[in-house]
Amino acid sequence: MIDVNSCRLLTVFIILTTVTACHRTVPAPVTPTPEQSKTFQPRALRDVVFERTRARLERGKYLTESLLQCFICHSDRDWTKPGAPPVANKKGAGHIWEDRPWLVAPNLTPDKETGAGDWTDDMFARAIREGVGHDGRLLYPQMWSGSFRSLSDEDLASVIVYLRALPPVHNPLPKTNIPEERKKTLPTLEPLIDPVPQPDLSDAVKRGAYLARIADCAGCHTAWEAPIVPGFYAGGNLIERGKEKVFSANLTPDSSGIGYYDDALFRSTIRTGHVKARKLSSLMPWIVFRNLNDDDLKDLFAYLRARRPIHHVVDNTEPPTECPACGQKHGYGDRNSKKTVVAVSIDTNAYADYVGRYRFDDGFMITISTEGDSNGGNNLNGGNKLFIQFASDPHKIELVPISATEFTAADIPDVITFERNAQGQVTHLLSNVDEVGKKIE
């Protein structure tokens, strides 16, 4: 089992040992190369102070203590209680990682000697969204900056205003000391230079997409590290922390997922940590998600309902059996079958338009190319076969058309489409988890 987590979306894969997460899109898991880590160039710190307003304090408390799960990692937890809440009076005071004692989630409270008392607002901002420590070090991706990166400027400011108002807790801890061999392959995030406005919040699915993104639901609920990734949100990611070990659930609207849920069941599951009478593992962070208000829970559910249904039965209450869908052993694995991708026949002339490089907002790149016969010579860029490559991974995966506009492959967890502008030029690549790659060449 792997253990670096990383969440640079699409890319990378995630972690696993422990809570994991990462999210993003399209791709199949790719291990970051040493070159990626070499490109680590944090931006200089800015002299900003976020105005301490009451609205920010409230919004910051709401986000920090619910979706963003900051204290689930930055506190010692009481595993004897349902949901394993942070230990009383030590909220945010830092934590030495269970099975990796070299990894320390630092004390975020404003204690001058052992905490963040002397850090600036921008040190927090750069750590949260760009993965850079207050001292300029590259943070280990167990810190989910890959998902927090999507926080709007205003939400980020709110979180920071709230953190700075926490009661200081004196809690001396060692510093993180990442083993040398792991340092070489750590994923990096590009500096965020441009403003991050509030996302489009015009309908429930869009609002839910933002909430799911910053909470990294897909990070835990996608089996990034499995031999076969059944699909985004299709569950089967082995989540471990300390002695706890459990496979994440399928959250797609399939009968094997949450197809039978309604708003009320979703709300009660998240609020109580029980699906009807069945108790959920404390590795599912319901203990903080239960602080979400009814509107946000409704929007999250609307977003999940709008995902592509994927059949993948995962039941932690049953003994583990081989699962042909993800290649792992988990409860009710034997109720699944191997993913099949059936190609439809389409006009491959459009392939030439898709060829190019696509850039995601965190700098992650996808390359689309073609090979093979060129449709009677009409197609100058060649090819009746379409391929995808992730970041600098030299391995090409052949894409299979499953409709006139949609492509996938057995080892890609997602379905890809290409978007054209009014002039008919291909401008973007879209994935079903709302990741958008802009065509740059």
142 is a contact residue toward ligand HEC (CB under 6 A)? yes
User: Amino acid identity, residue 319?
Assistant: P
Give 387-431 as a 3 state SS string: EEEECCCCCCEEEEECCCCEEECCCCCCCEEEEECCCCCEEEEEE
Could you tell me which residues come within 8 angstroms of residue 418 by beta carbon, excluding any fewer than 6 positions away? 353, 354, 405, 426, 428, 429, 430
Out of 9, 15, 70, 157, which residue is the one contacting ligand HEC (CB under 6 A)? 70
In Å, what is the CA distance from 78 to each residue of 72, 75, 91, 101? 11, 10, 11, 18
Out of 30, 93, 192, 217, which residue is the one contacting ligand HEC (CB under 6 A)? 217
Is the Cβ of residue 30 or residue 68 nearer to ligand HEC in the bound state?
A: 68
Annotate each residue in 219-258 with x if it binds ligand HEC (CB under 6 A) or - if it does not, as one string: xxx-----------------x------x-xx-x------x
169 is a contact residue toward ligand HEC (CB under 6 A)? no
Is the Cβ of residue 260 or residue 342 nearer to ligand HEC in the bound state?
A: 260
User: With CB under 6 A as the contact rule, which of the stretches 216-224, 355-363, 404-412, 416-424 interacts with ligand HEC?
Assistant: 216-224
User: With CB under 6 A as the contact rule, which of the stretches 24-32, 64-72, 165-173, 226-234 interacts with ligand HEC?
Assistant: 64-72
DSSP letter for each residue of 279-322: EPPTTS-HHHHTTS-HHHHHHHHHHHHTSPP------TTSPEEE
Contacts with ligand HEC in 143-162 (CB under 6 A)?
143-144, 148, 159
User: With CB under 6 A as the contact rule, which of the stretches 40-48, 61-69, 352-360, 405-413 interacts with ligand HEC?
Assistant: 61-69
Find the helix or strand (DSSP H, E) in which 271 lies.
helix 263-272
Buried/exposed code over 28-55 (b: 16+ C-beta within 10 A; e: otherwise)? bbbebbeebbeebebeeeeeeebeeeee
Query: Applying CB under 6 A, which residues contact ligand HEC?
Result: 19, 21, 64, 68-70, 72-74, 103, 105-106, 108, 124, 127-128, 133-134, 139-140, 142-144, 148, 159, 163, 176, 212, 215-217, 219-221, 239, 246, 248-249, 251, 258, 269, 275, 280-281, 283-285, 289, 300, 316
